[in-house]
A and B are shown apart, each in its own frame.
Chain A
Amino acid sequence: MAKTILVACGTGIATSTMVAVTLAEALKERGIVVDTRQCLAAEISSQLNGVDLIVSTTPVPGDLGVPVIQTLAFLTGIGKEEVLQEIVSHLQ
């Protein structure tokens, strides 16, 4: 079953959409299919059901019980390979 990544950003609209599509595409190139959901960073704690990993472009509260990766790599490209490897390791 595909793992679910929750993508969080400030308004839950523009930035998380950019991240969700570029992240899903990069993982697809590596043969990994994921489901992505999006939310506002402020709503993360109510959106955790069934979520395997959180990728956020804004600061998020401390311990959510789900691994969190805070990164701009899917917007700026900086450090993208390293972050992808980290994400892949969380999904295995």
Chain B
Amino acid sequence: MSGQLLQLLEPTAILTQITCGDKREVIERLGERLMAAGYVKDGFLDGVLDREGKMPTGLPLDGESNAAIPHTDVIHVERPGVAVATLNQPVTFQNMIEPDEPVAVRLVFLLALKEPKSQVEMLQEIAEILQDGDKVSRLLNAQTPNELILLLRE
């Protein structure tokens, strides 16, 4: 599985077992990697943070750990890509459907989307991962980016 996700996942934007003080820090660290690798424009980070404030992306999952899928408008994106972080301590996002409700998140997919229709498979693959509690906990246990990639290749 995970064909298109693996294609779009930027290897230098996979951060495993990192420690971040808050959601801004994790979004910034991932966004800087996408920026350095040429996926996104200057306004991307501000766009993601702004959107996360107004329309949060925290997703409570069916396990101990939860996820978030921050993203923003296509105008801030040069070419499609994905960055991923696993956190050794959760940071607080807000619930997508109940924005007043905090969600303790340890898995973050930062999405840079250009033409959503051509990235459908990647989005579907991420949704499938989020619905697979066993997969999520194994991803969260990956110690290195390579380990995480191997899990996505399964």
Contacts and interface: CB of A to CB of B under 8 A. Distances in A.
B126 interface: yes
A78 B60 CA distance: 9
B71 A58 contact: no
Interface residues of B, number: 31
A14 B96 contact: no
Residue of A10, A41, A57, A74 with highest tally of chain B CB at under 10 A:
A10
B51 A11 contact: yes
B131 A77 contact: yes
Interface stretch (B23-31, B34-42, B116-124, B144-152): B116-124
Interface string A3-31: 00000001101110111011000000000
A15 B69 contact: yes
A72 B113 CA distance: 20
Interface centre among B74, B127, B132 (most CB of A within 10 A): B127
Given A59-B97, A77-B62, A11 B127 contact: no
B3 to A, nearest CB: 15
Nearest to A41: B55
B120 A77 contact: no
A14 B130 contact: no
Contacts of B113: 13-14
B2 to A, nearest CB: 14
A71 B97 CA distance: 7
A11 B97 contact: no
Interface of A: 10-11, 13-15, 17-19, 21-22, 41, 57-59, 70-72, 74-78, 80
12 contacts: A13-B113, A14-B113, A15-B57, A18-B124, A18-B126, A22-B127, A58-B96, A58-B99, A70-B97, A72-B96, A72-B97, A77-B132
